[in-house]
A and B are shown apart, each in its own frame.
Chain A
Amino acid sequence: QPQNEHIELHRRRYGYRLDYHEKRRKKEGREAHERSRKAKKMIGLKAKLYHKQRHAEKIQMKKTIKMHEKRNTKKKDDEKTPKGAVPAYLLDREGQSRAKVLSNMIKQKRKEKAGKWEVPVPKVRAQGETEVLKVIRTGKRKKKAWKRMVTKVCFVGDGFTRKPPKYERFIRPMGLRFKKAHVTHPELKATFCLPILGVKKNPSSPLYTTLGVITKGTVIEVNVSELGLVTQGGKVIWGKYAQVTNNPENDGCINAVLLV
């Protein structure tokens, strides 16, 4: 690049060469051919760099061309109404195709036979005894180690009375006893605080079920008379199963999902 304006100065003084413009026009015309000749002949690292740069340039060019094209053509209506019109009463409902209904019925029958049920939290980490039960040492020299204290949240019934402390093998501390659970109805997406009726099954061990230990994944029975559900015979339903979805010993409350 010239460092001073002597070229411009000369041009102002003496003008251009007579064939300057013609030559320039033709040179520009040749540029495409020159470029392609060079691109074909280049090899090695230089070629790689050049081709990368050229590719980026070409993408940009294509974009601008497309934009210009769009400006000229008429746009098709993007707000096409979707197919599958349903009346207002079916809008919030998922339609089930007829084939699905039949296959669902068959699957339900098979499950009933097998005794397996769909639960919201199917797999839970199994809790070992050392985690759930803490060893309490007793005796004059604290040698005896037959007592255990439950470290997780548990439920004891209404009429629960402790065994005489000398013979009590499992200690359930009062601070970890809960009577109510926050139960969410999966369809209504509303949560209610319902009293617990009992522990149905603890997935880790039947021992925990009998003790009433509530951990994540435990199926408990809750009193749903507040909700006002009714059977087809007209009787009011007052107990339903719910599955615990959090770790109550960490949170201090029991959150569960109703099994409908």
Chain B
Amino acid sequence: PRFPQSMAPDEDAQRLLIQFRDEAGESLGSPFDVPVTITPDKLQLVCNALLQKVRDPRAPPAPPEPTRGLPLAASPALFPQEEPVPLAFFVHDAEIVSSLEKTLSGQSVETEKVLDIIYQPQAVFRVRAVTRCTSSLEGHTEAVISVAFSPTGKYLASGSGDTTVRFWDLSTETPQFTAKGHRHWVLSIAWSPDGKKLASGCKNSQIFLWDPATGNQIGRVLSGHSKWITCLCWEPLHINPECRYLASASKDGSVRIWDTLMGKCEKILTSHTQSVTCVKWGGDGLLYSSSQDRTIKVWRSKDGVLCRTLQGHAHWVNTMALSTDYVLRTGAFEPAEATINPQDVSGSLAELKDKAQQRYDQVRGQEPERLVSGSDDFTLFLWRPAEDKKPLERMTGHQALINQVLFSPDTRLIASASFDKSIKLWDGRTGKYLTSLRGHVSAVYQIAWSADSRLLVSGSSDSTLKVWDAKMKKLAIDLPGHADEVYATDWSPDGQRVASGGKDKCLRM
């Protein structure tokens, strides 16, 4: 006889021994038994209590209220113990949604053994899905090629085929400055991690630096490459809070490290035989560069010495992503502390450096950085470049070339956008395939994660953007409105806006 849930007392239900473990496999507390009908709410209460005990074994654990989904305005630094962290629970890789019983119904359960439940802390804040286009910013006279929000979300910059870089005022959604200087298409733009400088590279192989507060050029033009610039990347904030060094990758096969203060080239890293498609500055003092010659090279950023060559791809390596990408991009800015009106991060250089270092360590955890690379041979590789030359995993499944890969900000998921009209989600730690997101009718060009890793926006050549829910693994909202292909997409780090630009010369927010 099956009793309805509300009537049956807990003692009648089957009880199981469970043990909480974190993602790295370490156990939290000792095993204890719970009824099989337990729900995630109650599991969360128990787990938070255990976590508090771990954090402060002397203080008596205060019963935390389940506050799921409320964006907490108080900064986590002030109330470390009273704030309950929302958690997600997984049993044998299946998430516990309604109750433990239902999740286990499909699996064989040994009631004698201790069951491992893996808990994952979710982001405390929750980003709401963007639903509509608030404005269409005209101004560029040619296609918009690259779009980027500053690390704090205060400024927005866009580079275009009409050789200008435009800064846009976010509160009024109007144009602010037009930065003229380039003589050819502005192919890539990159914000420094402190948000005070913007570097832009053009098809004439020149790099300009701009000040977002005035729209003027800072320093000299950085020239030296012989062919166009494909990618720019700044040195992370926690290594150097002055944000002085910038790495640039070019079609001529070399990577140059520039000193932006002096305006000259510090180092030239040549080893690739063909165009370098992507360069990333890791947080551990390593620089990664991927190229059309099917290799990825790992360099030491201090002296520019080549450490490793990662081989394995069968065609051009188009794109790379580091697990710590998002935290390196935002530097000392914590998305949970975002306010409606974005502000610059304040504090002395040492404070900023500390904060950035803290955030970096938190995201990275104990393991070395992971790198995922996507290529024209329709596969992705997951590497641990600091340790091994061999890939961790080869991720196949796409039916056309892969244009962009991105780790989610909490490094748990990898999203890959491909020309076969689909986006695939993979597990961030093991590289296992999770799901395919289908909906676009033409090649997907660029993707962007929201700061809490719950939502993903993708822009495609069919002129629409789609917002996907990473938890439900389904389409959340469709954003039509562009007249032509969408070339660039970005989500602001404070989660308030999405900007997209494309062939129809206008920028939509």
Contact = CB atoms under 8 A, between A and B. Distances in A.
A230 B394 contact: yes
Contacts of B188: 88
Contacts of B292: 92
B312 interface: yes
Interface residues of B, number: 42
B377 A87 contact: no
B273 to A, nearest CB: 9
B275 A92 contact: yes
B399 A89 contact: no
B318 A89 contact: yes
Given A81-B163, A230-B377, A87 B312 contact: no
B160 A232 contact: no
A188 B379 contact: no
B315 A188 contact: yes
Contact of B397 (A88, A227, A234): A234
Nearest to A233: B396
Given A234-B396, A234-B397, A227 B314 contact: yes
A81 B230 CA distance: 18
Nearest to B161: A85
A91 B316 CA distance: 13
Contact of B184 (A81, A187, A234): A81
A230 B379 contact: yes
B459 to A, nearest CB: 11
B146 interface: yes
A228 B228 contact: no
Nearest to B319: A89
Contacts of A91: 187, 228, 230, 251
Interface string B306-325: 00000011111011000000
A229 interface: yes
Interface string A227-248: 1111011100000000000000
Given A227-B314, A229-B314, A85 B445 contact: no
Interface string B236-271: 000000000000000100000000000000000000
B397 A83 contact: no
Contacts of B383: none
A79 B163 CA distance: 12
Contacts of A84: 161
A16 B277 CA distance: 83
Contacts of A228: 312-314, 377
Nearest to B140: A85
A85 B143 contact: yes
Contacts of A86: 143, 145, 161, 185, 487
Contacts of A232: 378, 396-399
B192 to A, nearest CB: 20
B118 interface: no
Nearest to B318: A89
Contacts of B313: 228
B146 A87 contact: yes
Interface string A165-192: 0000000000000000000000110000
A151 to B, nearest CB: 38
B142 A85 contact: yes
Contacts of A85: 142-143, 145, 160-162, 185
B228 A230 contact: no
Contacts of B399: 232
Contact of B187 (A87, A227, A234): A87
Given A87-B187, A228-B312, A81 B487 contact: no
Contacts of B396: 230, 232-234
Contacts of B398: 232
A90 B419 CA distance: 11
B117 interface: no
B488 interface: yes
A81 B183 contact: yes
Contacts of A188: 294, 315-316
B231 interface: yes
Interface string B360-378: 0000000000000000011
B289 interface: no
A88 B378 contact: no
A93 to B, nearest CB: 9
A143 B397 CA distance: 65
Nearest to A227: B314
A88 B230 contact: yes
A79 B202 CA distance: 14
Contacts of A92: 251, 275, 292
A126 B256 CA distance: 54
B403 interface: yes
A79 B183 contact: yes
Contacts of B185: 81, 85-86
Nearest to B419: A93
A92 B319 CA distance: 14
Contact of B488 (A81, A87, A187, A234): A87
Contacts of B146: 87-88
A99 B313 CA distance: 32
A114 to B, nearest CB: 25
B163 A88 contact: no
Given A92-B292, A188-B315, A232-B397, A87 B163 contact: no
A86 B294 CA distance: 23
Interface string A85-116: 11111111000000000000000000000000
B179 to A, nearest CB: 16
A193 B173 CA distance: 59
B415 to A, nearest CB: 16
A87 B294 CA distance: 21
B184 to A, nearest CB: 5
A230 B183 contact: no
Interface string A72-85: 00000001010111
Interface string B134-155: 0000000011011000000000
Interface of B: 142-143, 145-146, 160-163, 183-185, 187-188, 228-231, 251, 275, 277, 292, 294, 312-316, 318-319, 377-379, 394, 396-399, 403-404, 445, 487-488
12 contacts: A81-B185, A83-B161, A85-B185, A87-B187, A88-B230, A88-B277, A89-B445, A91-B230, A227-B314, A228-B312, A230-B396, A232-B398
Given A86-B185, A91-B230, 19 more contacts: A79-B183, A81-B163, A81-B183, A81-B184, A85-B145, A86-B487, A87-B187, A87-B488, A89-B318, A89-B319, A89-B403, A91-B228, A227-B314, A230-B377, A230-B378, A230-B379, A230-B394, A232-B397, A234-B396
Smallest CB-CB A-B distances: 4 pairs: A85-B161, A234-B396, A88-B187, A228-B314
